Chain A
Amino acid sequence: MPAPLSRSPLTITLAVWKALLLREALSRLFGRRAAWFWLLLEPVFHVAYLMVIFAVIRVRHVGGIATPLWLMVGLLAYFMFQRASRQAMNAVGSNQALFVYRQVLPVDTVLVRAGLEGAVMVVVTMLMLAGGALFGLRVVPADPLLVLGALAGMWLLGLGLGLCSSVVAELSPEGGRLLLMLMRPLYMLSGVVFPIAMVPQPYRDWLALNPLVHGLDAVRLGFAPYYHEIPGLDLGYLYEWAMVLVLLGLMLQVALARRMVMQ
């Protein structure tokens, strides 16, 4: 049974993606003991302790919607971005052994990891919303398309950042560490734990330069149309950032693929 003499580049790429996806899914879900359980537990705990804090300071509503829903939805949207970008950033380093096969390129590992993480987060989101419904939260979105569009935008931004940062982290470990340090305040600046809409001017406009703010508030607005979102909410702005980062990332990947493999 002779191997196909020449496969088209597309066939090869698809075969590589499939193989990588199965390989990544195995280690992500079963790599450590009950790894799949921790994937879910982490956001659950995160929401839970934020809810405790908000209960202690007696904030029942934020921007017109119930605090638990506001927190949960915003955090899930943020995780969609953060986990995708974090996983993608480490993709090249963790798959170094596989670049002996010339069919496998660094960019393949980044794309597959971000894709897998997006799928994982969709499942986590559904499960957490179902859990919220058990506690009497109104978890059915009023505008499902807006929610999906915003979540997709957050994922795309994560992918774009992951494409860029995986190159930086692989070629200069110091750069990677610096990037992680710079990203840390994003959690505070994205409006996960406090409503950006309540920040006084001119600081609010400055914070609104962060595309994550738009994604987060769009998701919340999709769940509850009476939510007081930040003025000038613009999902297109999130997508512009995402597209620029994705394009830049792909260019970096093409230009520097060789140097990431051989060191």
Chain B
Amino acid sequence: MIVVRDVYKRYQTDHGPGPWVLKGIDLVIPPRTNVGLIGRNGAGKSTLLHLIGGIDQPTRGHIERLCRVSWPMGRGGGLQNTLTGRQNARFVCRIHGHENDMADRIEEIREFAALGRMFDEPVKTYSAGMKSRLQFALSLAFDFDVYISDEVTAAGDAAFRNKAQKAFRRLIDRAGLIMVSHGEETLKQFCTAGILLHEGRAQWFDDIEDALAAYKESLQA
């Protein structure tokens, strides 16, 4: 379960404090729920994901993570360019406390990413598709209670995408998911509930269809 209590967030800009991005978000995300986070560009979707993922702190209010939450996946982060795929995988294993069963996990990651011998080449030589395959394989290798994903499913070529979607499906059957996506189909496919971010406030919907309908309405207004 994740509790978000009265969270306000604004960023520092070069000209002092910026405008409020989030203005009093109150949410309780129950365990094993798949939630889609929707809103127009700049509504604060990624900001909220970062806050839930713990890589940023709210300006006011607080967030409790009462379970194991993944890092925000997707958007090219989390890979060191000068290191090889394998070295990156080792790094992530180590910081998550998997020193003991590292070999198994590395093998799992190598197999899923299917990069061949490029797995032992520096990440800076990878194509965009290869990078996201590695990222996706990394995110599958650890057991979290809640996965947070920033447009992560659209990775690689058709064959890989197929495999990735199946794996993603299996994953969210046993764990919770909070995802940002602009693809309506993706949201309907993976999420049951929805959160609509509009003008710095959040609205919870038990059904993703209702959330999407409200979103479309907010666009016309």
Binding site for B on A (CB under 8 A): 1-5, 7, 11-12, 15-16, 18-19, 22-23, 26-27, 31, 95, 97-104, 258-259, 261-262
Contact = CB atoms under 8 A, between A and B. Distances in A.
B29 to A, nearest CB: 17
A67 B68 CA distance: 61
Contacts of A5: 68
Interface of B: 11-12, 50, 53-57, 68, 71-72, 77-83, 87, 90-92, 94-99, 101, 142-143
Contacts of B87: 23, 26
A44 B78 CA distance: 37
B97 A23 contact: no
B95 A19 contact: yes
Contacts of B56: 258, 261-262
A16 B94 CA distance: 7
B94 to A, nearest CB: 4
Given A3-B142, A258-B56, A103 B96 contact: yes
Given A97-B80, A100-B77, 13 more contacts: A1-B101, A5-B68, A12-B95, A22-B91, A31-B82, A98-B78, A100-B53, A100-B55, A100-B71, A100-B72, A101-B95, A103-B95, A262-B11
Nearest to B53: A102
24 contacts: A2-B143, A4-B97, A5-B68, A11-B97, A12-B97, A15-B94, A15-B95, A15-B97, A18-B94, A19-B94, A19-B95, A22-B90, A22-B94, A97-B78, A98-B91, A99-B55, A100-B53, A101-B78, A101-B95, A102-B55, A102-B71, A103-B96, A262-B50, A262-B55
Given A3-B143, A262-B50, A15 B83 contact: no
A7 B96 CA distance: 9
Contact of A101 (B11, B57, B81, B92): B92
B83 A27 contact: yes
A18 B98 CA distance: 12
Contacts of A99: 55
Contacts of A23: 80, 83, 87, 91
A97 B81 contact: yes
A97 B77 contact: yes
A261 B68 contact: no
Looking at A22, A101, A104, A259, the one whose CB has the most chain B CB atoms below 10 A away is A101
Contacts of B143: 2-3
A71 B82 CA distance: 36
Nearest to B50: A262
